[in-house]
Structure 1
Amino acid sequence: MAGTLARAAGIAVVTGSAGGIGSAICDVLAEAGYRVVGVDRVEPDVQSLPDYRQADLSELEALPSLLAAIRDDCGPLAVLVNNAAHLDQTPFAELDPASMVRTLTVNVAAVAILAREAASQMIAGGGGVIVNVASIAGKRGSSQALYGASKAGAISLTKTLARLYAPNVRVVGVAPALVEAGMGTQLSPEVRGAFLAQTPMARGATAREVANVVGFLVSPAASYVSGETVDVHGGL
């Protein structure tokens, strides 16, 4: 994909960069010419990116200083990809309040704070793009009720922030269904089977297929796309 689009330049921050989708997004953006800074909870030696920050996104008070430090070290953001997420597969009837709070904190509150801080940098720097990685669960509901609700929140934020920060910053999203990487490999056989039975393409997406959509959305080819969350679900 990078070869078909205008080559980019600037700083791109990707949260959840150590996961399957996050790693693929980092690759696509690096191939497009961005200097990619990964953010994840894992130890630095687990993450292969040359620019990496270890952070727990549930620690909301630390997030503004995280992006400020990246700006000071690398330059102002051109792209932010809010990809990190928390999924607890405990049945809803047994889900404890602490896990509920963590799901909503990482999947909604952290997305909002990072987007706000990134937009401030982008506006000062002449513009940019924010991509929120949501889920088809946010549009159709899910057996993981809190996860689905949190992703619906991310989709709503995408619409709202696109209006708030236009015309300087575009805010877009992607909503994958089953992905054969990361959290997609942790689904129960029952949930996985249900997805595949309903999917016309009869398979899950690869992480690279999701990342390619992100690559398109941040590119000049998508310059008039904002506020939209694009489904990546194989016709589901």
Structure 2
Amino acid sequence: MKEKWIIVTGAGSGIGKEIVKECVSKGYSVIACDIKDGALKQLAEDTKGHIETHVVDVKKGNDVKDLFYQIKDKSLYGLVNNAGVYLGENLLDYEENEIDFVMDINIKGYVYFSKYFGELLMKKEIEGAIINISSVSGMEGSSDAIYGMSKAAILGLTKSCAMNFSPYIRVNAVAPTMVNTDMMKNIPEWRKNEYIAHQLIPSFVTPQDVADTVLFLLSSQAKHYTGATFDLNSGCYLR
């Protein structure tokens, strides 16, 4: 396979780490981005393949712009916007700085990466793909209102970018239900029980499940998919 580079944000743990490993296993080269240098170093040690690690604060547009300047000559093909935070708080308990923190990572980070990725590929008229990791919370709401709002915004961003970046870049979203990662610890027990009660397939979604879906959307098999959201929720919410 001709060398293709995939950018993955939030690559140091959980879903992002699994996506990196799966991309490498399928022959892609990966630019792994995270705020935690130690997590990236461990990822590089654990991953056998062509991987570059970059410490990037997705909240800062200039950091993201600098990254793309560094990698502009690579054969970029894919972007997986995955970095995110979940505080698990009721809206009444949110402080203003916490609202900004979640919005900056969960929305602005996706916007910055999409913008600079889109600029590079559109200028060169190169085909590529963006996959945004959203959440079932973006469609059904969340007990953490700010998180739910941020993930709903990503669904809108996905459709809008699909229009902005056509015909060269396909843009799709994956919306998992609860995924068995450290973030799951912040989800209230009543919310977990609600998910379990509604699941038609009685098992939690794993990071590997999300990675498999992402790899499909990166592949040529998904060449006619753009502006779409792929529910990954074990039939939890049927509409």
**So what's the TM-score if we normalise by structure 1?**
0.91
Q: Is the 8 A contact 1:119 1:128 kept in 2?
A: no
Amino acid at match of 1:63: V
CA distance in 1, matches of 2:182, 2:210: 12
| Local SS of the residue matching 1:132 | strand
Q: Is the 8 A contact 2:11 2:32 kept in 1?
A: yes
| Local SS of the residue matching 1:47 | helix
CA distance in 2, matches of 1:8, 1:106: 32
1:8 Cα deviation from its structure 2 partner? 6.4
Q: 1:8 to 1:26 in 2, by over 3 A?
A: farther
**Once superposed, which parts of structure 1, at least 4 consecutive aligned residues long, lie more than 6 Å away?**
none
Q: Is the 8 A contact 1:21 1:182 kept in 2?
A: no
**Which position in structure 2 is the counterpart of 1:3?**
none
1:202 Cα deviation from its structure 2 partner? 2.1
1:125 Cα deviation from its structure 2 partner? 5.7
CA distance in 2, matches of 1:16, 1:57: 9
**Which position in structure 1 is the counterpart of 2:55?**
54
CA distance in 2, matches of 1:55, 1:202: 37
**Which position in structure 1 is the counterpart of 2:95?**
96
Q: Which consecutive unaligned segments of at least 5 residues does structure 2 have?
A: none
Cα deviation per residue 1:35-70 (whole Å; 9 max; x = unaligned)?
011101112433335410111211223211112212
CA distance in 2, matches of 1:29, 1:8: 14
1:177 aligns with 2:170: no
| Local SS of the residue matching 1:51 | strand
- Percent identical among aligned pairs is 27
Cα deviation per residue 1:143-186 (whole Å; 9 max; x = unaligned)?
11011100111110000010111111111110000111242244
**Which position in structure 1 is the counterpart of 2:26?**
32
CA distance in 1, matches of 2:75, 2:17: 22
CA distance in 2, matches of 1:103, 1:128: 28
Greater shift, 171-180 or 185-194, is seen at 185-194
Q: Is the 8 A contact 1:134 1:151 kept in 2?
A: yes
**Which position in structure 1 is the counterpart of 2:35?**
41
CA distance in 2, matches of 1:151, 1:133: 8
CA distance in 2, matches of 1:182, 1:222: 30
**So what's the TM-score if we normalise by structure 2?**
0.90
CA distance in 2, matches of 1:140, 1:189: 17
| Local SS of the residue matching 1:180 | coil
Amino acid at match of 2:18: A
**Which position in structure 1 is the counterpart of 2:4?**
10
The RMSD of aligned alpha carbons is 1.5
Greater shift, 166-175 or 60-69, is seen at 60-69
